[in-house]
Amino acid sequence: MTALKSYIDSNGRLAIPAKIRKKLQLKAGDEVSIKYKDFELIVSTFHANVERARNILSKYKDIDLQKELEIMRSEDVNRF
């Protein structure tokens, strides 16, 4: 992992260095997610979040997730 120096401006914005933006193909207006964990900021791209979700869902390929969701919803309705 390469660490590059950046600064926070007076409006609280953090600039992502051009080298990293280019490598991640980030453009002005692109959405990223920012998490705070153990005194660190973790910035993730939309693509990284989609891949993470795909990896999680791939573990359940033998389960009909739509059917499971319908069952959970009907259980919630019946509970009230």
- CA 22 to CA 25: how far, in whole Å? 5
pTM higher than 0.75, yes or no? no
The residues, ordered by sequence, that sit 6+ positions from 21 with a Cβ below 8 Å of its Cβ are: 27
pLDDT the model gives residue 68: 82
pLDDT the model gives residue 38: 93
Domain locations in the chain? 18-79
Mean pLDDT of successive 10-residue stretches along the chain, which has 80 residues? 87 93 90 91 86 83 81 81
Residue 45 · residue 30 · CB < 8 Å: yes
pLDDT the model gives residue 80: 65
pLDDT the model gives residue 34: 92
The residues, ordered by sequence, that sit 6+ positions from 34 with a Cβ below 8 Å of its Cβ are: 41, 42, 43, 44
